[in-house]
Amino acid sequence: MQNPNITILQTDILSDNWYTLNKVTFNILKKDGTTETQSREAYDRGNGAVILLYNNVSNSVILTRQFRLPTYINGNTTGMLIEACAGLLDNDNPEDCIKRETEEETGYKISKVEKVFEAYMSPGSVTEILYFFIAEYSQDMKINSGGGLEEEGENIEVLELSFDEALTMIDKGEIKDAKTIMLLQHLRIKGIL
């Protein structure tokens, strides 16, 4: 259902280089009954999915580490970020997407995933909604070394960490990725690990 207080007047593409950056001009009906025209920029990169693999027997999780330019520009001296496995949907449903991404990035072939929630990560400027999943893994599910797809410029390191170590890394500021922190805290709050 569309919001009756919002009327889109114009959408201009500012950039269509990597994904799409739009400038949207709209009218908004305010609480006092007046209408105001506003313009905002919104980056449309599509929707995505993220997963945290965990092992109850070894009390461990699988994370990844890769270079992220925006973090480098914003003061991360190495640009390397520790994250849960994630990817864009690319016209797949979220479950199929995250199974594909898990195999490509981590080398684990999983068949059963559990959706835990959905969240907008940066709703002030990015249209993306993320679908959050968890799944159990075992060493017999490891079918390749992972690392991502070379043709997509991915160079991903796969990390197997104890759950306690991952939580400590949040406290020390070594894990700063919001989606990863959310999933680790989900495991903690729900008593899964």
CA dist., res. 84 & res. 134, Å (int):
10
Give, in order, the Cα–Cα distances in Å from 160 to each of 62, 164, 180: 5, 12, 14
CA dist., res. 110 & res. 100, Å (int):
9
154 a known binding residue? yes
Helices (H), 37-93: 69-73
86 a known binding residue? yes
Q: Bridge partners of 8? A: 26
Give, in order, the Cα–Cα distances in Å from 61 to each of 58, 67, 131, 161, 188: 9, 20, 19, 5, 12
Binding residues for Mg(2+): 86, 101, 105, 154
Question: Per the annotation, where are the binding residues?
Answer: 86, 101, 105, 154
